[in-house]
Amino acid sequence: METKNIIIVGVGGQGSLLASKILGHLLLSEGFDVKVSEVHGMSQRGGSVITYVRFGDKVYSPVVDKGQADFIVSFEILETARWLSYLKDGGQIVTNTQQIDPMPVITGAAEYPSDLVEKIRAAGIKIDAMDCLTLARQAGSQKAVNIVLLGRLSHYFDISEDAWQNSLKANVPPKFLEINQKAFELGKNFNG
């Protein structure tokens, strides 16, 4: 199998590390060679962050490059637009529609671009856009945005529900499992 590439993008502190951990666990248990690459440190302080997940028969590079991502999983819509060039021709976006103003917008030095979902769709790109924050709150915690996104991503994978559930269980503390299972379902069954 040709190596598949996922990038998870968002704002430092939004929970992308847990999402990549669950994905990595899942893909390894499905028998793939897997590499996950993260960035720790300075950029985690509210900066733009990217995590790479790659899987296949044999994976070499730990990173995904421009024009290579089969999936972009995004926690914030401006970040979706920022990392758009990483999407492969025909790739799929799964994104949260939440807007978090970056400092240049807060200080008035720049403007937050409008109608990003529509513009991406108009460019002929496949995009699943949903208000994950509302869905996560519905599930019981605003921190479950990452799991809502994974739920939606699962829709595009030929991997059993049991395997996803096992990876959730293995990586989420027991007292938050129910909330996260609910968040996963809400994402998976989202009908845009």
Partner 1 sequence: MKELMLGNKALARGLWEAGVAFVSSYPGTPSTEVTEEAVKFDEIYCEWAPNEKVAMESAFGASLAGRRAFCGQKHVGLNVAADPLFTLSYTGVNAGLVAVVADDAGMHSSQNEQDSRHYAIAAKVPMLEPSDSAEALNFAKLAYEISEQFDTPVLIKMCTRVAHSQSVVETSERVEHSKVYEKNIGKYVMMPGNAKRRHPIVEERTRRLIEYAETTPINRVEFFTDEIGIITSSTSYQYVKEVFGESASVLKLGMINPLPVELIKNFAARVKRLVVVEELDPIIETHVKSLGLQVEGAELLPRIDEFSQNLIAEAFGKKISAGVSLNDTIPARPPVMCAGCPHRGLFYSLKKRKCTVLGDIGCYTLGAVPPLSTIELTLCMGASIGATHGFNKMLGAQSEGKTVAVIGDSTFMHSGMTGLANVAYNQSNSTVIILDNSITGMTGHQQNPSTGLNIKGDPAGKIDLEALCRAMGINRVRVVDPYNLKECDAAIKEELAAAEPSVIISRRPCALLKTVKHKPPLHVDADKCIGCKSCMKIGCPAISMKDGKAVVDQTQCVGCEVCSQLCPKKAFAR
In the complex, the residues that contact partner 1 under the rule CB under 8 A are: 11-13, 24-25, 28, 33-48, 59-63, 65-68, 78-79, 81-82, 84-89, 100-113, 116, 119-120, 123, 125, 133, 142
Q: Which is nearer to partner 1, 37 or 165 (CB)?
A: 37
**Residue 177 structure tokens:** 């499992």
**Residue 189 structure tokens:** 């069954």
CB of 29 to partner 1, least distance (A): 9
CB of 90 to partner 1, least distance (A): 11
Q: Which is nearer to partner 1, 6 or 116 (CB)?
A: 116
H or E stretch at 171: helix 161-171
CB of 71 to partner 1, least distance (A): 14
Q: Which is nearer to partner 1, 112 or 176 (CB)?
A: 112
CB of 4 to partner 1, least distance (A): 14
Q: Give the helix ranges, DSSP H, for the chain.
A: 16-29, 77-82, 103-106, 116-122, 132-139, 145-154, 161-171, 174-188
Count of other CB atoms within 10 angstroms of residue 190: 18
Residue 22's nearest CA partner among 167, 173, 161 is 167
